[in-house]
């Protein structure tokens, strides 16, 4: 079948077997930043954003990509400018072997998009405790939070770890990843607070 989607901002028509894995379709098209780890939805290495939300590309059939907006790691930087999470990962050295990095970045970027989302959905409430993140950012929290970083710091860290729970880093470099995402949350939240003034 032929599917239509918006892939990293560009409209695409792709011929697929409807039961192909989205992962294979993307890699065939050259988007090899989408990694195959376990192939069964455990590790998150193949995470892509489907209509803005993280999914395991190894579990999504090509048929269901029809009509969707797909973002792979190749589409995270906008016209050459790295996304806030990408800059934060570089600054914090939050990579080791790198296999989990594309998926980690896309999941973290989803957290930032939830932080930025201001449009209230009347019959739904958000998944993350954005209020705690806002309060934390407003305190001008220390850039090097100690382990005794306080209640808000713990709340923010919990939200980040929840968001990244489906991405496994077998080098176990989680601490620097969480620190990097904290930096990106702080930056994004500061901008949102600034914009609302």
Partner 1 sequence: MTEFFKPSTLAEALAILRDRQDRPPRPIAGGTDLMLELRDPVRRARINAVVDIWQLSELRRIVEDSGVLRIGALATFSDLIANLLVRRAAPMLAEISRAIGGIQIQNRGTVGGNIGTGSPAGDTLPVLLAHDAEIVLASTAGERSVRARDFYTGYRSSVRRPDELIAAVRIPRRRANFAHHRKVGTRRAQAISKVLVAMRGERRGDGAFDEIAIGIGSVAATPVRAANVEALVTAHRGPWDEAALTALQLELARDIHPIDDLRSTARYRSTVTFNILRRALIGARA
Q: What residues line the site for partner 1 (CB under 8 A)?
A: 1, 18-19, 21, 39-42, 44, 47, 50, 53-56, 58-61, 63-64, 107, 110, 121, 123-127, 162-168
d(CA 82, CA 146): 28
Nearer to partner 1, 11 or 122 (CB): 122
d(CA 7, CA 68): 8
Yes or no: say if 75 and 33 are a contact pair by the CB < 8 Å rule.
Answer: no
d(CA 62, CA 121): 29
Nearest distance, CB of residue 131 and partner 1, angstroms: 16
Nearest distance, CB of residue 127 and partner 1, angstroms: 6
Phi, psi of 9 (to 5 degrees): 90, -15
Nearer to partner 1, 151 or 165 (CB): 165
Nearer to partner 1, 63 or 96 (CB): 63
55, two tokens:
């999914």
Nearest distance, CB of residue 80 and partner 1, angstroms: 28
Nearer to partner 1, 53 or 171 (CB): 53
Helix, strand or coil for residue 81?
A: strand
Nearest distance, CB of residue 143 and partner 1, angstroms: 27
């Amino acid at each position: 079948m032929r599917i239509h989607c918006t892939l990293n901002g560009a409209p695409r028509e792709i011929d697929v077997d409807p039961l192909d894995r989205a992962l294979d379709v993307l890699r065939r098209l050259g988007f090899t930043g989408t990694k195959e780890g376990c192939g069964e939805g455990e590790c998150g290495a193949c995470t892509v954003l489907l209509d803005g939300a993280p999914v395991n590309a190894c579990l999504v059939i090509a048929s269901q990509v029809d009509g969707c907006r797909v973002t792979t790691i190749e589409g995270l930087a906008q016209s050459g400018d790295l996304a806030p999470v990408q800059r934060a990962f570089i600054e914090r050295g939050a990579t080791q072997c790198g296999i989990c990095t594309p998926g980690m970045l896309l999941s973290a970027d989803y957290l930032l998009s939830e932080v930025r989302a201001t449009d209230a959905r009347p019959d739904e409430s958000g998944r993350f405790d954005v209020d705690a993140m806002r309060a934390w950012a407003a305190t001008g929290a220390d850039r090097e939070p100690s382990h005794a970083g306080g209640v808000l710091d713990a709340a923010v860290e919990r939200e980040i770890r929840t968001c990244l729970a489906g991405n496994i880093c077998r080098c176990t470099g989680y601490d620097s990843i969480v620190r990097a995402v904290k930096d990106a949350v702080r930056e994004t939240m500061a901008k949102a607070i600034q914009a609302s003034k």
